[in-house]
Amino acid sequence: METDENMEFVVFAIMALVSTVCAILVISHRNPVSSALFLIATMVSLAILFLTLNAPFLAVIQIIVYAGAIMVLFLFVIMLLNLRKDEFGPERKKAQRFFAILFGFLFLILLATAINVGLSTFGHPEAPATKLIPAGVEPLAELLFTKYLFPFELASVLLLVAIVGAIVMAKRKL
């Protein structure tokens, strides 16, 4: 048990580091293709964190849907546009960048304070995490088809509308 907990800490530390570094590279790299590849790395490390959080189904979905489908769509569009270096245009000025980073840090401090206050106020639920959520697809599917049936159906309608909308917008002549 002791080694298991140590393992979880090690996995969390490595994946937190990898995801943060890759996220910073996503927004700082000049080439959009590299940005997309770093975003895939961030998503895969988050999927591994989902595994340690006892959500294997979401980890698989994260890799298939996010790292698979959505990011392939991104890469496909980047290659379709076929941008040259000079078409990227100028980036923000130094001063604007400085203030953006400054206010980003202030925003992060705000979020951390909110998390601290929230956890100290509402942190400990009546039944703490002694009851482990069951891993696997069945409990998720049961909730999805009973309590959350209506949002689930709405999501299917949303996907249909998105498909139609994307075709209407991207096609030259209908």
Partner 1 sequence: MVPLSSYLILSAVLFTIGVLGVLVRRNILIIFMSIELMLNAVNLALVAFSREFGSMDGQVFVFLVMTVAAAEAAVGLAIIICLYRNRKSVNVDDLNLMKW
Q: Kindly identify the residues of this chain, within the stretch 20-39, that bind partner 1 according to CB under 8 A.
A: 20, 23-24, 26-27, 32, 35-36, 39
> Binders of partner 1: how many residues, by CB under 8 A?
87
Q: Which residue in the set 85, 94, 121, 170 belongs to the binding site for partner 1 (CB under 8 A)? A: 170
Interface with partner 1 includes 49 (CB under 8 A)?
A: yes
Interface with partner 1 includes 173 (CB under 8 A)?
A: no
Q: Which residue in the set 42, 48, 85, 173 belongs to the binding site for partner 1 (CB under 8 A)? A: 42
Q: How far apart are CA 143 and CA 49, in angstroms?
A: 23
Q: Quick check: 66 and 39 in contact, CB under 8 A?
A: no
Interface with partner 1 includes 145 (CB under 8 A)?
A: no
Q: Which residue in the set 18, 41, 54, 60 belongs to the binding site for partner 1 (CB under 8 A)? A: 54
Return the exposure string of 140-169: e unless at least 16 CB atoms fall within 10 Å of the residue's CB, then b: beeeeeeeeeeeeeeeeeeeeeeeeeeeee
Q: Which residue in the set 14, 79, 117, 158 belongs to the binding site for partner 1 (CB under 8 A)? A: 158
CB of residue 98 to partner 1, shortest distance in Å: 10
Q: Write out the binding residues for partner 1, residues 101-130 only, by CB under 8 A.
A: 101, 103-105, 107-108, 111-112, 115-116, 119, 123, 125, 127, 129-130
Interface with partner 1 includes 60 (CB under 8 A)?
A: no
What are the structure tokens assigned to 34, written together? 């590299």
Write the DSSP string, 71-111.
Answer: HHHHHHHHHHHT--GGGS-----HHHHHHHHHHHHHHHHHH
Return the exposure string of 95-124: e unless at least 16 CB atoms fall within 10 Å of the residue's CB, then b: eeeeeeeeeeeeeeeeeeeeeeeeeeeeee
Q: Which is nearer to partner 1, 5 or 121 (CB)?
A: 5
Interface with partner 1 includes 92 (CB under 8 A)?
A: yes
